[in-house]
């Protein structure tokens, strides 16, 4: 703190307590052994001890709580503590909630005011800590993010957060912030009334002390405490709106699969009708129910998978379960950041990749030999790069600012000084090989060269290169802005350093990289194709497209397989299907219906017709109705009708995916089964509440999977259990950790 001088009054492992000459007590947190401040058991205990110390000394003028860890106020509760809750009795969980609330409540139970300085992430329990203070000052720094992400773990705030939030910003805003789980920045928090001031970071300490001084002089914090303790008055119209409209919106977002959003709505409404002291019991009871649910258990596991991925360098670290033959010989310090990226090809994918680089703060060079294509892509790239998630539209001022970082050229010489080049031209091996060879001739010897491909084997594309050790695949998914997964594909000659560099670069783009070994379809498309293939087989058996897709959505998929076909494009799926059929034709035969659809001009959304009719063309087109012309195309390829239930449709769609995932593990395509679960969630929208494909297999059990497959045995080899599955069933082994 600046003058007046601060004198140490006590030191703990997680915080430092200082008493200034003007009577202000400052608690500065830096929680050890964590990348960000988290509310560990130790941190909570030390906060309580620090408050004891303050209460035992001379009465302070005010208490200021801040963090000395850059970019982090508090990122929330310790996830390890949350993992333990599932096995606890509900009574023990509610007792823990009460204990945490009791510590926080001490911040606003003494005569002096308390102020939280929020600079950096302030999430979950961290926000509840800030809400427990009388006043809050946020910084306008880009790294300041405030929110309640508990819903993404299948939970709700449990230390008084829903109670305090509804009283501070109003029930409707509290429901939106908490049930959506999205973060807001400092200025937005100020507009909501979530914080009392939003200031530049270098003014935060002074502003906090000034607010506390005013509150102490006017005793305004005492009156505010009384007001926030009372019930919240809701007029009948607002009550009806929240109960009906908010519930409808929540169900529309969650599909009814996630109990936490509705529990948040119900809890906030219940808490409004009583005093704050009484309301916390509703909150704790709701939290205990959610904490013991399987949905929360799976969502916490998925969060852990994401944490594991963020730490992963993409190489074998020698830990149990690693199956990669590559030793981790590349230290983090050996991975040189790539700051001069280039993209070759200004088509849909190339433009999306270039936009992702701009969004992440890179200056990027984009090359395309077609001047018209290049010029036409610029506006799209800037629109994508300047997209504002909060307003759901492009920020024109940001687009103008980013335009200076986008360099375009029609000649390869423009990339001579670039240190990472991503080729994204047509998905034709002959063209790609030619372009890759030209890239290698143009760039320096240390430049990493990558290809964005969904089907072409890396080994084949590497053949014309003089140094294939610096070549790999970096496979983005469409649309690039929304899809977080990226497959980093290791070819036979790809070096560890190249893989580590590619993984590090993808993370700098804010994406989730999964390292896979070179093979037809890599990971995601290989696991996806059985799902798509089976839907067409059922269509040929006379099962309605709408029914197939409805069952898939009922399972939790974001869209059905036939809807997905239309979004991907039937022509794109046709070529990918040829590659996979050639490799795995015994179980993924190329369907004759897909080329017939392509020949008829039904390519999906982009042409306004596929398995469904669309009101307009383009990727944002909405389904109008099933395409009646499809039945005529199906007729020559019809299969005998089968008696079927919705449960059987679900098994036929998903069990072949599970079998393919086991083959991927057998072949060492991924280093760990957990990579499969993370990949299908991020790339295919596999329902996170089920934990991923292999976690879903765990929920059934290997023996049950074998039993269900036996009922489908007449469909042929695609429903035949693998040796690994039979061994797992015999030994009662799980699919994944």
How far separated are the first and last CA of the chain, in Å rounded? 47
Which H or E run contains 300?
helix 294-311
Rounded-to-integer distance, Cα 729 and Cα 731, Å: 6
* Chain centroid offset of residue 319 CA: 25
Query: For the stretch 361-386, what's the b/e string if a residue is b when 16 or more beta carbons lie within 10 angstroms of its beta carbon?
Result: ebebbbbbeeeeebeebbeebbbbbb
Residues 588 and 679 in one domain: yes
Which parts of the chain sit beneath pLDDT 70?
Answer: 1-11, 317-334, 390, 617-620
Rounded-to-integer distance, Cα 425 and Cα 369, Å: 10
Q: What confidence score (pLDDT) does residue 702 get?
A: 98
Residues 514 and 596 in one domain: no
Which H or E run contains 51?
helix 41-56
Residues 450 and 540 in one domain: no
Active site residues: 475
315 inside domain: no
Burial of residue 311 (CB within 10 Å: 0-12, 13-18, 19+) is exposed
Q: Residues 118, 114, 51, 143: what is their CA dihedral angle, to the nearest 10 degrees?
A: 0
CA distances from 140 to 119, 342, 359 (A): 8, 32, 19
- Determine how many CB atoms are found less than 10 A away from the CB of residue 436: 24
Q: What confidence score (pLDDT) does residue 624 get?
A: 73
Given strand 145-147, what is the order of strands in its sheet?
A: 72-74, 121-123, 145-147
Helix, coil or strand: residue 89: coil
Of 516, 342, 517, nearest to 435 by C-alpha is: 342
Q: Residues 599, 601, 604, 607: what is their CA dihedral angle, to the nearest 10 degrees?
A: 160
Q: Which two tokens stand for residue 457?
A: 């084997």
Residues 365 and 243 in one domain: no
Which H or E run contains 187?
helix 186-192
Tell me which of 492, 518, 544 is where a domain ends: 518
- pLDDT tens string 16-28: 999 998 999 999 9
Helix, coil or strand: residue 609: strand
Q: What confidence score (pLDDT) does residue 331 get?
A: 56
Residues 578 and 702 in one domain: yes
CATH number at residue 559: 1.10.1040.50
The number of distinct structural domains making up the chain is 3
Of 683, 653, 655, 639, nearest to 547 by C-alpha is: 653
Residues 267 and 382 in one domain: no
- Determine how many CB atoms are found less than 10 A away from the CB of residue 139: 24
307 inside domain: no
CATH number at residue 388: 3.40.50.720
> For residues 177 and 188, is the Cβ–Cβ distance under 8 A?
no
Q: Which residues form the domain of 501?
A: 332-518
Q: What confidence score (pLDDT) does residue 584 get?
A: 87
Which H or E run contains 613?
strand 612-614
Residues 405 and 285 in one domain: no
CATH number at residue 168: 3.90.226.10
Tell me which of 468, 489, 518 is where a domain ends: 518
Of 329, 293, 294, 289, nearest to 313 by C-alpha is: 329
Q: What confidence score (pLDDT) does residue 323 get?
A: 39
Tell me which of 475, 493, 518 is where a domain ends: 518
322 inside domain: no
Residues 542 and 394 in one domain: no
Of 296, 265, 299, nearest to 283 by C-alpha is: 265
Residues 509 and 570 in one domain: no
Residues 622 and 657 in one domain: yes
Q: What confidence score (pLDDT) does residue 332 get?
A: 52
Q: What confidence score (pLDDT) does residue 6 get?
A: 47
Residues 451 and 539 in one domain: no
203 inside domain: yes
Residues 384 and 352 in one domain: yes
């Amino acid at each position: 703190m600046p003058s007046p001088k601060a004198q140490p009054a006590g030191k703990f492992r997680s915080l430092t307590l200082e008493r200034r000459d003007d009577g202000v007590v400052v608690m500065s947190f830096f929680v050890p052994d964590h990348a960000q401040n988290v509310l560990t058991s130790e941190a909570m205990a030390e906060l309580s001890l620090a408050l004891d110390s303050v209460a035992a000394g001379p009465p302070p003028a005010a208490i200021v709580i801040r963090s000395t860890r850059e970019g982090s106020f508090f990122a929330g509760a310790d996830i390890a503590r949350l993992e333990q809750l599932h096995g606890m009795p509900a009574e023990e969980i509610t007792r823990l909630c009460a204990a945490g609330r009791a510590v926080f409540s001490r911040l606003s139970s003494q005569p002096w005011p308390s102020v939280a300085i929020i600079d950096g992430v302030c999430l979950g329990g961290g926000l509840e800590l800030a809400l427990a203070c009388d006043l809050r000052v946020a910084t306008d720094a880009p790294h300041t993010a405030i929110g309640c992400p508990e819903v993404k773990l299948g939970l709700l705030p449990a230390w008084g957060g829903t109670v305090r939030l509804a009283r501070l910003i109003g029930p409707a805003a509290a429901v939106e912030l908490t049930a959506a789980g999205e973060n807001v920045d400092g200025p937005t928090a100020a507009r909501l009334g979530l914080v009392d001031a939003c200031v530049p970071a270098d003014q935060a300490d002074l502003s906090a002390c000034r607010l506390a001084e005013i509150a102490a002089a006017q005793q305004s914090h005492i009156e505010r405490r009384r007001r926030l303790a009372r019930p919240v008055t809701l007029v009948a119209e607002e009550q009806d709106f929240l109960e009906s409209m908010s519930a409808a919106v929540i169900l529309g977002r969650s599909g009814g699969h996630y109990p936490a959003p509705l529990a948040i709505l119900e809890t906030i409404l219940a808490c409004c009708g009583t005093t704050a002291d009484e309301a916390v019991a509703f909150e704790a009871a709701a939290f205990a129910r959610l904490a013991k649910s399987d949905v929360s258990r799976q969502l916490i596991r998925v969060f852990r998978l994401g944490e594991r991925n963020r730490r992963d360098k993409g190489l074998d670290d020698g830990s149990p379960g690693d199956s990669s033959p590559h030793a981790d010989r590349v230290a983090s310090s050996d991975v040189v950041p790539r700051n001069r990226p280039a993209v070759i090809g200004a088509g849909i994918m190339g433009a999306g990749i270039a936009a992702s680089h701009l969004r992440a703060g890179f200056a990027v060079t984009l090359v395309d030999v077609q001047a018209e294509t290049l010029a036409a892509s610029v506006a799209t790239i800037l629109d994508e790069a300047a997209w504002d998630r909060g307003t759901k539209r492009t920020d024109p001022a940001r687009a103008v600012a980013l335009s200076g970082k986008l360099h375009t050229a029609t000649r390869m010489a423009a990339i001579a000084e670039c240190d990472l080049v991503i080729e994204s031209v047509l998905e034709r091996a002959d063209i790609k090989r030619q372009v890759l060879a030209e890239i290698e001739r143009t760039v320096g010897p240390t430049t990493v060269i990558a290809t964005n491909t969904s089907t072409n084997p890396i080994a084949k594309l590497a053949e014309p290169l003089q140094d294939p050790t610096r070549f790999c695949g970096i496979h983005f998914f469409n649309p690039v802005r929304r899809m977080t997964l990226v497959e980093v594909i290791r070819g036979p000659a790809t070096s560890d350093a190249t893989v580590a560099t590619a993984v590090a670069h993808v993370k700098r783009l804010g994406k989730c990289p999964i390292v896979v070994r070179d093979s037809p379809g890599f990971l995601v498309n290989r696991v996806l194709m059985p799902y798509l293939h089976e839907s067409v087989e059922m269509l040929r058996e006379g099962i309605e497209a709408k029914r197939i897709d409805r069952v898939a959505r009922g399972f939790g998929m974001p869209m059905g397989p036939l809807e997905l076909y239309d979004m991907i494009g039937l022509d794109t799926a046709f070529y990918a299907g040829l590659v996979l059929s050639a490799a795995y034709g015994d179980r993924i035969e190329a369907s004759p219906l897909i080329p017939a659809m392509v020949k008829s001009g039904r390519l999906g959304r982009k042409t306004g017709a596929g398995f469904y009719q669309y009101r307009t063309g383009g990727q944002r087109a909405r389904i109008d109705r099933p395409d009646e012309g499809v039945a005529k195309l199906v007729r020559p390829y019809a299969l005998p009708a089968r008696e079927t239930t919705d449960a059987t449709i679900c098994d036929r769609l998903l069990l072949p995916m599970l079998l393919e995932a086991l083959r991927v593990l057998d072949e060492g395509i991924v280093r760990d089964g957990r990579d499969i679960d993370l990949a299908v969630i991020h790339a295919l929208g596999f329902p996170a509440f089920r934990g991923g494909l292999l976690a879903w297999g765990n929920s059934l059990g290997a023996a049950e999977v074998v039993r269900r497959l036996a009922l489908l045995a007449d469909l042929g080899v695609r429903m035949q259990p693998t040796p690994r599955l039979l061994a797992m069933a015999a030994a009662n082994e799980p699919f994944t950790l």
